[in-house]
């Protein structure tokens, strides 16, 4: 593919950085990533490298530590990182809490928290969902009662991803039970080392510990840690969700599809001319067309962020369609790998499957399939995204 000259120069600059900084160890860690979460040691190591270079938060305004790149350059950077197989970095500070603070935090809050998010000193988790309050988030019950300059927080949060690795949590709490339920919510930033916080693990479908239930028992939180006005946390929460729901899934999708195409080609080359030509290739092509359509919408959302806005309701389209298409690509990966009888790794490692298709494409097919079942639930289910699209975009 031919790129405009200045774009090509930028791409080469990114490639030369990745060539010099991405060690084999980090590459290996990136390759083993089976969900949006990277294991924390390599996530922190890669964040430190990006931080040193000044490239850790390309989506942030330059004034707060962003790179000043255009939307297209940020896309190219993400594309090259995916192609090289860099490890992921913990997303909740850089992708959610930081942009939310830039939009809604006080100057003191920005000054204190943003540098710590960039450097990795603060690792954040998200305390929105509660038992009984997921899709119907505004019904949440965790309470914060006023006590002088502090709030006393009591209640529980659930499905809290990587709480066990985080030292900060942004949480929605109830500060009033008067009026509409959305009007009594406040947004708090809470130090996870505060006494009264307890974390209990939840093991996911893949068998790994990513999720938790977090309990708050008389946890004292300074009122200075509130973002926005008291009882106005709902608008802050929704603003943050637009960032959470915006992800560049087309890049991940293309990576899965490249793997699927290689797998399909391999089955043909090895004499396993099953349904490769007709069925697999057709399915892959259909998903490639979807990936292209998703990429176009991502570029629109990126342009909106570039002008200092949040991504807007388009993030709900990207969340629902991106997640569903990723799941289809995962399903196809498992389907094709099944023709080797090897959807189950590490058996695949033992028989040298990696050597057949090359390490860059040998991603853990089944764990990725299992883990990505969550894509149409976390951050608001696909049904909820469709409700938002109906209301905010289609005006129904």
Ligand X SMILES: Cc1cc2nc3c(=O)[nH]c(=O)nc-3n(C[C@H](O)[C@H](O)[C@H](O)COP(=O)(O)OP(=O)(O)OC[C@H]3O[C@@H](n4cnc5c(N)ncnc54)[C@H](O)[C@@H]3O)c2cc1C
Distance in Å, CB of 157 to ligand X, minimum: 6
| Per CB under 6 A, 181 contacts ligand X | no
Residue 378, phi-psi category: left (phi > 0), alpha (psi -120 to 50), beta (remainder): beta
List b or e across 344-376, with b for residues whose CB sees 16 or more CB atoms inside 10 angstroms.
ebeebeeeebbebbeebbbbbbbbbbbbbebbb
Q: Contact between 126 and ligand X (CB under 6 A)? A: yes
Report in angstroms how near the CB of residue 132 gets to ligand X at its nearest.
Answer: 7
Q: How far is the CB of 258 from ligand X (least distance, A)?
A: 25
Minimum CB separation of residue 316 from ligand X in Å reads 13
| Candidates 121-129, 268-276, 278-286, 303-311; binding stretch for ligand X (CB under 6 A) | 121-129
Nearer to ligand X, 126 or 186 (CB): 126
Residue number with CB closer to ligand X (111 or 383): 383
The SS3 call for residue 84 is helix
* Mask for 132-161, x = binds ligand X (CB under 6 A): --xx-----------------------xxx
User: Burial of 112 by CB count in 10 Å (0-12 exposed, 13-18 middle, 19+ buried)?
Assistant: middle
Please state the φ and ψ torsions of residue 57, each to the nearest 5 degrees.
Answer: -135, 65
Integer CA distances (angstroms), 208 to 129, 289, 371, in order: 20, 33, 9
Does position 383 interact with ligand X (CB under 6 A)? The reply is yes
Q: Which ranges in the chain belong to alpha helices (H)?
A: 5-21, 24-32, 40-53, 71-84, 91, 98-104, 107-119, 233-245, 249-269, 281-306, 314-337, 347-350, 353-357, 365-371, 382-388
> Is residue 374 a contact point for ligand X (CB under 6 A)?
yes
- DSSP code string of 172-215: EEE---SSSGGGGEEEEEEETTSTTEEEEEEE-TTS-EEEEEEE
The answer to whether the beta carbons of residues 260 and 325 sit under 8 Å apart is: no
Choice from 82, 89, 384, 388 touching ligand X (CB under 6 A):
384
Query: Which tokens sit at 347?
Result: 């058996």
The CB density around residue 95, as the number of other CB atoms within 10 Å, is: 22
| 233 lies in the binding site for ligand X (CB under 6 A) | no
Cβ 159 to ligand X, closest distance in Å?
Answer: 3
Q: Applying CB under 6 A, does 216 fall inside the site for ligand X?
A: no
**Smallest distance from the beta carbon of 381 to ligand X, in angstroms?**
3
Residues within window 25-64 making contact with ligand X, judged by CB under 6 A: none
Q: How far is the CB of 83 from ligand X (least distance, A)?
A: 26
Q: Residue 213 interacts with ligand X (CB under 6 A)?
A: no
Cβ proximity of 345 and 206 under 8 Å: no
Name which of 77 and 159 has its Cβ closer to ligand X.
159
Answer for the pair 131, 158: CB distance below 8 angstroms, yes or no.
Answer: yes
* 362 vs 98: CA distance, rounded Å: 34
Q: Is 290 in the site for ligand X (CB under 6 A)?
A: no
129 makes contact with ligand X (CB under 6 A):
yes
Q: Does 380 bind ligand X (CB under 6 A)?
A: yes
Q: Is 128 an interacting residue with respect to ligand X (CB under 6 A)?
A: yes
381 near ligand X, judged by CB under 6 A: yes
Dihedral angle, C-alpha 12, 14, 16, 17, nearest 10 °: 170
Smallest distance from ligand X to CB 374, Å: 3
Q: Which range touches ligand X (CB under 6 A), out of 54-62, 111-119, 295-303, 383-391?
A: 383-391
Instruction: Tell me the residue number closest to ligand X, measured at CB.
Output: 134
Q: Give me the residues that bind ligand X (CB under 6 A), please.
A: 125-129, 134-135, 159-161, 211, 374, 377-381, 383-384, 387
């Amino acid at each position: 593919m031919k790129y405009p000259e200045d774009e090509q120069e930028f791409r080469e600059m990114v490639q030369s950085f990745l060539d010099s900084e991405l060690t084999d160890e980090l590459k290996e860690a990136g390759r083993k990533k089976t969900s949006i979460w990277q294991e924390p040691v390599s996530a922190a190591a890669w964040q430190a490298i990006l931080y040193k270079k000044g490239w850790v938060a390309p989506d942030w305004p330059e004034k707060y530590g962003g790179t000043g790149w255009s939307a297209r350059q940020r896309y190219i950077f993400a594309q090259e990182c995916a192609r090289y197989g860099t490890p992921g970095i913990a997303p909740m500070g850089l992708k959610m809490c930081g942009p939310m603070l830039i939009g809604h935090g006080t100057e003191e809050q920005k000054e204190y928290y943003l540098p710590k998010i960039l450097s990795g000193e603060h690792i954040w988790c998200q305390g929105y969902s509660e038992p009984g309050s997921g899709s119907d988030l505004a019904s949440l019950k965790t309470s914060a009662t006023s006590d002088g300059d502090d709030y006393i927080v009591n209640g529980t949060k659930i499905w809290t991803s990587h709480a066990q690795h985080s030292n900060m949590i942004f949480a929605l709490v109830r500060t009033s039970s008067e009026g509409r339920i959305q009007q009594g919510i406040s947004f708090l930033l809470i130090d996870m080392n505060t006494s009264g916080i307890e974390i209990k693990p939840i093991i996911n479908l893949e068998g790994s510990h990513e999720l938790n239930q977090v309990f708050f028992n008389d946890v004292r939180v300074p009122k200075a840690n509130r973002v926005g006005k008291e009882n106005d946390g709902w608008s802050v929460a929704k603003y943050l969700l637009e960032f959470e729901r915006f992800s560049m899934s087309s890049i991940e999708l293309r990576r899965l599809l490249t793997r699927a195409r290689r797998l399909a080609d391999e089955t043909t080359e090895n004499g396993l001319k099953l349904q490769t030509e007709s069925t697999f290739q057709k399915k892959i092509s259909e998903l490639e067309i979807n990936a292209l359509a998703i990429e176009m919408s991502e570029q629109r959302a990126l342009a909106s962020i570039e002008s200092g806005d949040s991504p807007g309701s388009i993030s709900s389209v990207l969340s629902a369609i991106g997640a569903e298409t990723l799941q289809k690509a995962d399903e196809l990966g498992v389907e094709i790998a099944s023709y080797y009888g090897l959807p189950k790794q590490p058996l695949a490692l033992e028989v040298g499957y990696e050597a057949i298709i090359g390490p860059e494409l040998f991603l853990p097919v089944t764990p990725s399939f299992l883990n990505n079942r969550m894509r149409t639930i976390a951050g608001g289910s696909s049904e909820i995204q469709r409700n938002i699209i109906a209301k905010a975009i289609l005006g129904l």
